[in-house]
Amino acid sequence: MSKAISRTNIVPGVVVKTKFITSHHKAFQQYVEYVDRDEAKQEDRSVAHSFSLYQDYMGNPNKTSSLFTHKYNRLTEEQKADLKESFEEAQKNNSIMWQDVITFHNPWLQEQGIYDARTHTVDERKLMYVTRQAMSKMLERERLNESAVWSAAIHYNTDNLHIHIATVEPNPTRSRGKRKPKTLDMMKSTVVNQIRDRGKNQDRINHLIRKEMVDQKKQDSSFAWRNRELKPLFLMVYNHLPQDKRQWQYSYNTIKPLKPYIDTLSEKYIKKYHQKEYQQLIKNLDKEVKELKKAYGEGTRDKGRYENYKQTKIDDLYKRMGNAFLQEMKAYDRKQQDVKRLLDRKQSRKQTARYKQHVPVHFSLRKIEKAFKSEYESWKNQQHYERLQRETEHDRNQQNDYERGH
Mind listing the pLDDT tens digit for each residue in 134-143? 999 999 999 9
Q: Which residues of 175-195 are buried (b: 16+ CB within 10 A; e: fewer)?
A: eeeebeeebbbbbbbbbbbbb
Residue 395 included in any domain:
no
Residue 405 confidence (pLDDT): 59
Give me the helices (H) in 246-308, please. Answer: 259-273, 275-296
CB 21 within 8 A of CB 27: yes
pLDDT digits (tens, 9 = 90+) for 290-319: 999 999 888 777 888 888 999 999 999 999
* Listed residue (167, 182, 187, 186) closest to 19, CA to CA: 167
CB 225 within 8 A of CB 237: no
Among residues 42, 78, 77, which one has the least CA distance to residue 155?
42
Nearest residue to 109 (alpha-carbon basis) of 200, 9, 191: 191
Are residues 192 and 213 both part of a single domain? no
Report how far residue 376's alpha carbon sits from residue 227's, in angstroms, rounded to the nearest whole number: 77
184 shares its domain with 270: no
Query: In this structure, are residues 2 and 279 in contact, taking their beta carbons and an 8 Å threshold?
Result: no
Type of residue numbered 114: I
Does 2 reside within a domain? no
Q: Which of 328, 346, 364 is the last residue of a domain?
A: 346
327 touches 334 (CB < 8 A): no
pLDDT digits (tens, 9 = 90+) for 234-243: 999 999 999 9
Report the range out of 23-32, 60-69, 353-362 with the highest average pLDDT.
Answer: 23-32
Same domain, 165 and 240: no
Q: What is the CA radius of gyration of the chain?
A: 46
Closest CA to 51 of 66, 35, 40: 35
Total domains in the chain come to: 2
Same domain, 19 and 168: yes
Q: Fill in the amino acid letter for 95.
A: S
Give residue 361's pLDDT band: very low, low, confident or very high (50, 70, 90). very low
Q: Which residue in 118, 116, 115, 117 sits closest to 126, CA to CA?
A: 115
Query: Nearest CA to 23 among 146, 168, 138?
Result: 168
2: pLDDT strictly greater than 70: no
pLDDT in tens, 159-211: 788 899 999 999 999 888 888 888 989 999 999 988 987 767 888 999 999 99
- The burial class, CB within 10 Å (0-12 / 13-18 / 19+), for 51 is buried
User: Residue 242 contacts by C-beta under 8 Å, 6 or more apart in sequence?
Assistant: 248, 254, 255
Question: Is 190 in the same domain as 238?
Answer: no
Please indicate, yes or no, whether residues 269 and 155 belong to a single structural domain of this protein: no
Does some domain include residue 257? yes
* pTM beyond 0.75, yes or no: no
Whichever domain contains 176, its CATH number is 3.30.930
Number of Cβ within a 10 Å radius of residue 154:
21
Kindly state the helix (H) or strand (E) to which residue 97 belongs, with its residue range: strand 97-104
Together in a domain, 210 and 117? no
Domain contains 306: yes
Q: At which of 296, 330, 346 does a domain end?
A: 346
Contact 243, 179 (CB under 8 A): no
**pLDDT(355) > 60:** no
The answer on pLDDT for 9 being more than 60 is yes
Q: Are 194 and 133 in contact (CB under 8 A)?
A: yes
- In terms of domains, do 93 and 146 share one? yes
Query: Are 153 and 137 contained in the same domain?
Result: yes
DSSP SS3 for 284:
helix
- The answer as to whether 406 is a domain residue is no
Q: Is 76 among the domain residues?
A: yes
Whether residues 25 and 68 share a domain: the answer is: yes
Torsion of Cα atoms, 186 then 191 then 195 then 200, to 10°: 10
Q: What is the CB-side half-sphere exposure of residue 302 using CA atoms within 13 A?
A: 22
Residue 313 sits in which domain range? 199-346
CA separation for the pair 44, 182 (Å, rounded):
40
DSSP sequence for 102-164: EEE-HHHHHHTTSEETTTTEE-HHHHHHHHHHHHHHHHHHTT-TTT-EEEEEEE-SSSS-EEE
The verdict on residue 189 lying in a domain is: yes
Of the candidates 293, 268, 270, 266, the one whose C-alpha atom is nearest the C-alpha of residue 281 is: 270
Residue 360: is its pLDDT beyond 80? no
Among 33-37, 170-174, 367-371, 380-384, name the one with the lowest average pLDDT: 367-371
- Burial class of 89 by CB neighbour count within 10 A (0 to 12, 13 to 18, 19+): middle
Residue that is last in its domain, among 172, 196, 220:
196
Q: Are residues 18 and 68 in the same domain?
A: yes
pLDDT band with cut points at 50, 70 and 90 for residue 43: very low
- Whether residue 31 contacts residue 97, with contact meaning beta carbons closer than 8 Å, is answered with yes
Least confident of 73-82, 124-133, 139-148: 73-82
Q: Are residues 47 and 149 in the same domain?
A: yes
**Between 48 and 66, whose confidence is greater?**
66
Q: Is the pLDDT of residue 260 over 90?
A: yes
Domain assignment present for 381: no
What mean pLDDT is predicted for residues 268-295? Answer: 93
